[in-house]
Structures are given as C-alpha cells and as structure tokens.
Structure 1
Amino acid sequence: MTPLSVVMERLREKGYGRELIINKEGAYFEGQSTIYQPSSLTIVKVYRFEGESDPADMSVIYAIHADDGQVGYLLNAYGTYSDRDHPFYEDFIRNVQVDEQTDL
C-alpha cells in the first residue's frame, strides 16, 4: 500500500496541493476567497488508507476539481476519528459528484 505522505506529494506535484476547507457557507481552497457549493465541485480521485495496526490511522483523501478550474484535496479520517460529526461536512461531501479519473 502506498503511504499517505507519498500520495499527498504526488497530488501536490500535479497541482492539487491546496486543502479544501468546508464551513457553513460552503467550501474554499486554502489561500483562495471563492466559496464553492457541492454542485461546483467534482471528486476526481479517492484514496483510502487503512492503518495496519491502529484504526486511528484510517483516512481518506479526495482529489477535487472545481468548475472554474481550481483543484485541491480534502483529507479526512474515517471511522471513529472522522469529521462526520462536523455540522456541515457530511451533507456537503455527500452532494459532491464523483467522476473518478485514472491519471491521478
């Protein structure tokens, strides 16, 4: 299994180095002011990581493309440590379309 750090570096090299931050108004890529709604974003790749010895190591990275050409990633734990209890996260991410690409 490829380590999370390697995938993060590959994404950064391909221009997906900015994190998507979800809040009450929508989501934005770090360092940007544009607020996106789920309908403006597409998940183009999903990477899941499972901790071999520690369930706390379970995480997921979504490579995300915005309809205006901006790209980035969303990193989250899953299982016990996920952001699913974050008041806006689950509703937001469930409404982002998925169109996985093989070139990432």
Structure 2
Amino acid sequence: MERPADMNTLSQILEKLRLKGLDNEIKMTDHGKMQGVGFNKIYNPDDLTIIKTYRFEGDSDPGDNSVLYLLEDKDHTIGYILDAYGMYSSQENAGFDEFLRKIPTADRDLQELLS
C-alpha cells in the first residue's frame, strides 16, 4: 500500500485543500463575524467546528510562525482560517481571538480527506 506524501509545510496543506476543492478561506469581517470568502456565508462561532489545527514554525524568523485552522460548518462545508500567531498575528480585529475561542473543537483524523 502506497503511503501518501507527508504534509510538512503550510503550502503543501493549502495545495492539498485546493486540489480537493476545499480551499474556502474564512476571514473576520469588520462586524465581528466570520465570512466565507468565496462562498459568501456569514458565521457565528456556533456555526463552525474546528476539526484540525496545524502549527508551523519558521526555521529562523519568528514572523514565519503560522497556524491553520480547518473548519467545518453546519452544511459540512470545509474551510480554513490562516493566521500568524503570537505578536505577529495578522488579525487586526480585536474580537478575533474571542471568536476563535468560542468555536467548538473536534480534533479529527483528516488523512482520508486530504490524501
């Protein structure tokens, strides 16, 4: 049985999502809610579930640290939120961290989904 290639970098995971048609980015709006960029849905925290979190650390630059949250909405649409973490966070909206903390989590094995 052939083993799928390891996904060690952010770009590898984003490319896998793109190839599977799951590259639905979700961003914080100016109104404190999350919006699906390409599919125009507005979300409250209870509309989403974090199904996997990936953290990436730059070899030499702390500014390269990033986190990728894979999410599923109530319609079973898979999307993601991408952010730097720590003091390098790219989220300017003060409610981002609070919104993220309110999203329930269900750490799932996504090997089938991404392989």
TM-score (norm 2): 0.81
Range that drifts further, 75-84 or 87-96 = 75-84
> Does the aligned pair in 2 maintain the 1:16–1:63 contact within 8 Å?
no
1:52 Cα offset (Å): 1.2
- SS of the aligned residue for 1:63 comes to strand
More strand by share: 1
- SS of the aligned residue for 1:76 comes to strand
| Structure 2 residues without counterparts, runs of 5 or longer | 1-6
Residues 42-94 of structure 1: CA deviation (Å, up to 9, x unaligned): 01110000111110000000011001222211000002211465222111101
1:38 Cα offset (Å): 0.3
Identical amino acids, percent of aligned pairs:
38
Figure out how many residues of one structure are paired with residues of the other and give that number: 104
Corresponding residue for residue 4 of structure 2? none
* Alignment partner of 1:69 is 2:76: yes
Query: Structure 1: how far apart are the matches of 2:110 and 2:41?
Result: 26
> Does the aligned pair in 1 maintain the 2:24–2:39 contact within 8 Å?
no
1:25 Cα offset (Å): 4.6
| Structure 1 residues without counterparts, runs of 5 or longer | none
Q: Which has the larger radius of gyration?
A: 2
Report 1:39-54 matches (<5 A). Answer: 39-54=46-61
Query: Structure 2: how far apart are the matches of 1:21 and 1:84?
Result: 9
TM-score (norm 1): 0.89
Query: Structure 2: how far apart are the matches of 1:6 and 1:83?
Result: 21
